[in-house]
Structure 1
Amino acid sequence: MGWKCFSVDGAMRIIFLGTPGYSVTVLSSLFEAGHELLAVVTRADKPAGRGRSVESPPTAVWAREHGVPVLQPTSLRPPEVAAEFAALKPDVMVVASYGRILPPDILAVPVKGCLNVHPSLLPKYRGSSPVAEALLQGDTVTGVTIMLLDEGMDTGPIVAQAEYPVLDDDTSESLMVRMFERGAELLARTLPAWDSGELTGKPQDDSLATHSRRLEKSDGELDFTRPGKQLSDQVRALHPWPGAFTRWNGKTLKVLKAVPMSLNTADHENAEDVSAGTVVALNSGEAASLGVATSNGILGIVEVQLEGRKASDGNAFLRGHADFLGARLPS
C-alpha cells in the first residue's frame, strides 16, 4: 500500500529515489500534492559525526516519520531488486540526487518512466557536481531540468526546464538547496501534463554538452597565481565540501568566505608590485580587513580557520596572528 496525505484526481503511484537533505524538499512536495508514495529508495545507513554513530539518510528519516516504506538496497543490479520495484506497480519513478546510475531493468519498471530532477540547464553540466561547476565557471544564471532518465549520465530527453539567477553570495550549499526547492516546484507543475501525455521529452543536443566531475579534496587548494575572482568563485563552489584551503607555517588554513577585490583596496604603497600569495592589509571600511595578492586583484579574506582552531573573521585572526601580515602563501 502507498501513502499520501490526501486524495486528489490525477495522483500518481510513485517510487522515490533520493538520499541527502535537499532531496527531502522534492519528496515532501510529492506527498503534499497527494501522490501515492509506494516507497522511498535511498542509500544505506552509515556512521556520521564525531561519535560515528550510525545514521539514516534524511530521506529515510522523513519516510519513516510519514509511514512510507523505506528500501535501502546495497545495489540496484540484482534481478530481485527490479522484481521488488515492479511488484509495487509504479506509474513513475522520481529521482532526486540518489547517488547511483539506474540499470536498464530498473529504468524499465515504471510505465511512464523515471524522471530526474537535475540542478543545471542540461545539456550543460552533466555529471555529479553541476552546482559547484556553475559557481566555478562564474555563471550568473543556472537552473533546473526535469529529464527522462536513460542509460547514460544525464543524457535523456528534457521534459521541463527553468532558469534561475545565481546570487553573489551563493555557495554550493545555498544554491543546491534553492535549486531543489525550485526543482520540486517545477516537478509539481510538470507531473500532471506528463501523466496525461500532453508533455513529451525533447532530445538533448549532445553537441552543446558540458560535464562536471566528482570533486576531490585536492580541488580545494588555492593557487594565488590565478585571478582573485576565480579564487573567490572556487571558495564559494567548494563550500561546504571539500572546502578551499591554503597552508601557512605548515598548517592547513581553510578559507571559509572570501570576496574578490581590486588592488586599490590594499593598504600598501606599491600594491601592484606585491607578489601573488602575499598577505596584505586592506583599507579601513572594505569588505575584508586582509587579503592575499593574486595574479589579478586581491582575494579578500572574510573568514578563515587555522588547523586545530575555531573559525574566525579576518580581524580576529590578525589579533591572534599578527605575523600573518606579509606572509607568503602557501608556506
Structure 2
Amino acid sequence: MRRLRIVFFGTAGPVSLGALREVAAGHTIAAVVQPRPELGSAGRARRLLGGVARALGVRLVPAFEILRRQRRFPAWEARSGRDAGIVARLQALRPDLLCIAGYPWILSAGTLTIAPLGAINVHAALLPRHRGPLPLFWIYYHNDRQTGVTVHRAIVEADAGDILGQVSFPLPRGLPVEELNRINGEYAARALGPVLRDLDAGRAVARPQDETLATLAPRIRPGTPMIEFASWDVERVWHFMAGLYPRFVEPLSLEDGVSVRYRGIHGYERTPHRLAPGTVRRVAGGADLYCLGGRVRLAVGG
C-alpha cells in the first residue's frame, strides 16, 4: 500500500484528533487546515472543544502540536470554507486526498475536487441520521440507543455524500456527552482506516444515503425549551438532561414562575404522582422535576 498524501481539515477536538492520528499512522500528512479561532462559528467551536477538553482533563492542543512536530507537517489557518489562500495552496500542493473531521465549514465544490481521490468527511453520527453541526445534541434528543461514526464522500450538501464506512456502538443511558465525544474519537480512527486502504487500492464501495431516513442536527438557540414533557417518560427526560449537562441546560421554573437553574442531576425515580409533567418543586437539598411515570432529582443552587 502506498502512502497517500493527505490534507486534513479539522480542529483540536477528539474526533479530529482520532482521525488525524489514523491518517498519520499509515499515510503522509501534507498539511493540516484549521479555522482561525477568532472567526464566528469557528471560534465558538474552538471554545466548546476547549471546554470539553478541560472537563475531561485532556490537553488537546498540545497533543496536536506534538503530532505536528513529530510529522513535520505545515498547519494553515483558514478564514472560511471558501478561503482563496487555502485553495491556492492546495492547488500548488497537489494532494491525493482531502480528509475532513470536525471542521466547522462546508468546503466549496472547487475545493472538494482538487485532489484526484476527492474529499471524505468523518461525521460523529450514523448517517443519514443527524446531518449538521450538532449531531451529539440531537442523538440525545431523539433518544437513540445506537450511535457511531460515518465516513462519507464530502459534497457541498452537509453530510449527504455517499457512505464509505460506518461503525456503530450502543449508547449507555445518561452517558455524559463529553465521554461520548471521547469515544467517538476512538471510533473515528476505526472507521477511517479501512476507508483509506480501500481508496488507495481502488476498491472503495460508496453507498448512497437513504434520503427517507435523513434527519437534521441544526444548532439551537441557548435557552430554548426542548423537553417534550407531555410525551417523554421520566427515564428519557433523565437520559437527555444527564447526558447533555452542562453543555445544555433545560429552562425550568417553579410553580410560581421563578426560574430554576440546576447544577447537576442526581438521578430519577419511578413513583406515582398527580402533578402535571414539567412541574418543579423545591425539596431538601435540591428540586424534583415531575415527569410521566416519576420524577428527576435535581441539584440546584442555594
The answer to whether the superposition gives a TM-score over 0.5 is: yes
Q: Which moved more, 1:68-77 or 1:253-262?
A: 253-262
Pick from 19, 36, 39 the counterpart of residue 26 of structure 1. Answer: 19
Using the TM superposition, give the Cα deviation of residue 289 of structure 1 relative to its aligned residue in structure 2, in angstroms: 8.3
State the match for 1:311 in structure 2.
Answer: none
Which structure 2 residues correspond to residues 116-265 of structure 1 after superposition, within 5 A? Answer: 116-219=121-224, 227=232, 228-247=234-253, 250=258, 252-263=260-271
Secondary structure class of the residue paired with 2:236: helix
Change (3 A) 1:259 1:156: same
Report whether the alignment pairs 1:292 with 2:284: no
CA contact (8 A) 1:278 1:293 kept: yes
Change (3 A) 1:178 1:223: same
Q: Which moved more, 1:249-258 or 1:99-108?
A: 249-258
Q: What one-letter code is carried by the residue in structure 2 that aligns with 1:254?
A: Y
CA contact (8 A) 1:93 1:110 kept: yes
Secondary structure class of the residue paired with 2:273: helix
Distance 2:10 2:151 in 1: 15
CA contact (8 A) 1:17 1:93 kept: yes
| TM-score, normalised with respect to structure 1 | 0.74
Q: Over residues 144-198 of structure 1, what are the superposed CA-to-partner deviations in whole Å (9 max), with x where a residue is unaligned? A: 1110111111110000112211012313221122122101111112211111111
Distance 2:266 2:227 in 1: 12
Q: Over residues 108-153 of structure 1, what are the superposed CA-to-partner deviations in whole Å (9 max), with x where a residue is unaligned? A: 1111111111111111111122222111111111121110111111
Using the TM superposition, give the Cα deviation of residue 209 of structure 1 relative to its aligned residue in structure 2, in angstroms: 1.1
CA contact (8 A) 1:235 1:258 kept: no
Distance 1:141 1:224 in 2: 23
State the match for 1:279 in structure 2.
Answer: 281
Change (3 A) 1:292 1:63: same
Q: Over residues 285-325 of structure 1, what are the superposed CA-to-partner deviations in whole Å (9 max), with x where a residue is unaligned? A: xxx98632224321133xx353xxxxxxxxxxxxxx5xxxx
Change (3 A) 1:14 1:241: same
CA contact (8 A) 2:129 2:213 kept: yes
Secondary structure class of the residue paired with 1:84: helix
Change (3 A) 1:295 1:204: same
Secondary structure class of the residue paired with 1:273: coil
Distance 1:138 1:78 in 2: 38
Distance 1:129 1:216 in 2: 12
Which entry has the higher C-alpha Rg, 1 or 2? Answer: 1
State the match for 2:54 in structure 1.
Answer: none
Change (3 A) 1:62 1:206: farther
Change (3 A) 1:62 1:44: farther
State the match for 1:36 in structure 2.
Answer: 28
Distance 2:266 2:251 in 1: 11
Distance 2:267 2:143 in 1: 13
Change (3 A) 1:232 1:20: farther
Please list every run of 5 or more consecutive structure 1 residues that lacks an aligned counterpart in the other structure.
1-8, 50-56, 264-270, 283-287, 307-320, 322-331
Q: What one-letter code is carried by the residue in structure 2 that aligns with 1:18?
A: G
State the match for 1:53 in structure 2.
Answer: none
| TM-score, normalised with respect to structure 2 | 0.80
Distance 1:244 1:181 in 2: 29
Secondary structure class of the residue paired with 2:240: helix
Q: Which moved more, 1:213-222 or 1:14-23?
A: 213-222
Distance 1:289 1:297 in 2: 16
State the match for 1:17 in structure 2.
Answer: 9
Tell me which stretches of 4 or more aligned residues in structure 1 moved more than 6 Å.
Answer: none
Q: What one-letter code is carried by the residue in structure 1 that aligns with 2:265?
A: K
Secondary structure class of the residue paired with 1:300: strand
Secondary structure class of the residue paired with 2:293: coil
Distance 1:109 1:129 in 2: 28
